[in-house]
Amino acid sequence: MRRLVIAVSGTPGTGKSVFARALAKKLGASAIDLNALITKKKIYTLDTDGTKIANPTKMREEFARAIRNHRRPVVAEGLLAHLLPKKLLTHVVVLRTKPKVLKRRLRVRGYSKAKTRENVEAEALDVILWEAVDIHGIDKVYEIDTTGLKLDAAIKLFLKALAGKISLRPGKVSWLEEIF
């Protein structure tokens, strides 16, 4: 059986970091924080407001190097995790959260009104989900609504889907009516 290499992606504030760390622990996997990798390898530029803009090509190359000698499963986490190479990933988990809840979380984190609105709209429009499906195919992508879901329950859902006991097929979550 092929080694598991799972990407955990989603809009900021959906719970990627906590989910990925817990999943890695449960699977006995190595955890890779893509934001830390991007920063450590200095594979970004800064935009006018000081936001890091990652170089996706270099990120993919560094990720491939980082997992090359791993023998155990890998869980990679980050906003750009769904952009990792198709040939390296076995599964892509996209975490989702209701826009109203997401808006509160981002404001608490100190996001500007413009950045908050941009991220809430991206969540409502399923941007990351459908980018992931476009790159990896619908059978490799799992969608989990984390709104009001405890961490253990979210992990159990994914593990059940991984075992083929339930479906987390993309497209079941829709926030359009809530936001527009």
Q: What is the pLDDT of residue 71?
A: 87
How far is residue 36's CA from residue 67's CA, in Å, rounded to a whole number? 15
SS3 132: helix
Q: What is the pLDDT of residue 179?
A: 66
Q: Return mean pLDDT, the chain.
A: 94
Strand pairing class (91-96; 141-145): parallel
Give the mean pLDDT of 127-150. 97
All structural domains of the chain, each given as residue ranges with its CATH number in brackets, are 5-96+127-175 (3.40.50.300)
> pLDDT band for position 49 (50/70/90)?
confident
pLDDT tens string 52-109 = 999 999 999 999 999 998 889 999 999 999 999 999 999 999 999 999 999 999 999 9
Give the mean pLDDT of 150-176. 95
State if pTM tops 0.85.
Answer: yes
